[in-house]
Amino acid sequence: METIMTKTPLKSLEGKVALVTGASSGIGRATAFELARRGAKVIASARGQSEIDALVAEIKKEGFEATAIVADVNVEQSVIDLVAKTISTYGRIDVAFNNAGTEGEFTPFVDQSNEVYDAIFNANVRGVFWSMKHEAKAMLAQGGGTIINNASMGGVIGFGNAGLYIASKHAVLGLTKSASIELFKQGVRVNSICPGIIDTPFQDRIWPSTEAKDAFAASTVPGRAGSSEEMAAVVAFLASDDASFVSGHGLLADGGYSIA
């Protein structure tokens, strides 16, 4: 199957500035590359310097524009600094993809601990809240923009042994919907993507074995896992003016799993 990255670049984001958190791997990495391909100047952010440096070098090698900025969404001042550095580097922030997060531990509900709760909700909810808050302030000051959160299909359905992770992603959809109601008339659209099983390091971590992961993917409607590039294309659509009347939406990109 031809990957998204091998296709002729679409300039639907020409002149835009896009910030991607959690850009070191998986969907975040693919999205940073895809937004750059579509004409955006990209800020690739994560906690690991070497990973985002490598990504930015690859993007630039292809002739596109990107800058790496280390940040930790678990720390509000780090988020504030990230938004400020984005604006000081490129003058504005038009698109933000809040992808950084954690899976915590997948264990039976009665065994889930306060420590795991804190780790998951600090990154997946408070980190997204801080990111949205400070991105929205910058976008309102400049007259508009679009925010996209990664809510996972876990934001709309449940899974056994994943109660805290699932609850955190439901919260992300709640933030998305509420912020959209407040911000849409002021020129800021807020949406989420809800990926299903995607072939990423995240999925490698949550399954007990490669065989278990592959068996689950084979049991889905399309009979396979999705790719990070497919998710990047969904983010790129929501980031573009083609989605100008789409806000407050959790776009399911799960190959039909949640309805089957």
CA angle 215, 29, 133 (to 5 degrees): 110
Q: What is the pTM (predicted TM-score) of this model?
A: 0.92
- The question of whether 165 is a catalytic residue gets the answer yes
Higher-confidence position of 213 and 101: 101
* Res 138: pLDDT: 98
Is residue 196 within 8 Å of residue 153, measured between CB atoms? yes
Instruction: Calculate ∠ Cα 87-28-148, nearest 5°.
Output: 65
Pairwise CA distance, residues 154 & 244, whole Å: 26
pLDDT at residue 206 in the model: 67
Q: Supply 97's token pair.
A: 């993809």
What's the pLDDT tens digit per position in 20-76? 999 999 999 999 999 999 999 999 999 999 999 999 999 999 999 999 999 999 999
Which member of 90, 117, 165, 257 is catalytic? 165
Which DSSP string corresponds to 64-81? --EEEEE--TTSHHHHHH
pLDDT at 255 over 80: yes
Q: What is the largest CA-CA distance in the chain?
A: 51
Average pLDDT, the chain: 91
Structure tokens at 22: 């959690």
Domains in the chain: boundaries: 13-196+227-250
Contact 179, 147 (CB under 8 A): yes
Residue 6 has pLDDT above 50, yes or no: no
Strands 95-98 and 145-150: parallel
- The CATH classification of domain 13-196+227-250, taken from the options 2.60.260.20, 3.40.50.150, 3.30.420.40, 3.40.50.720: 3.40.50.720
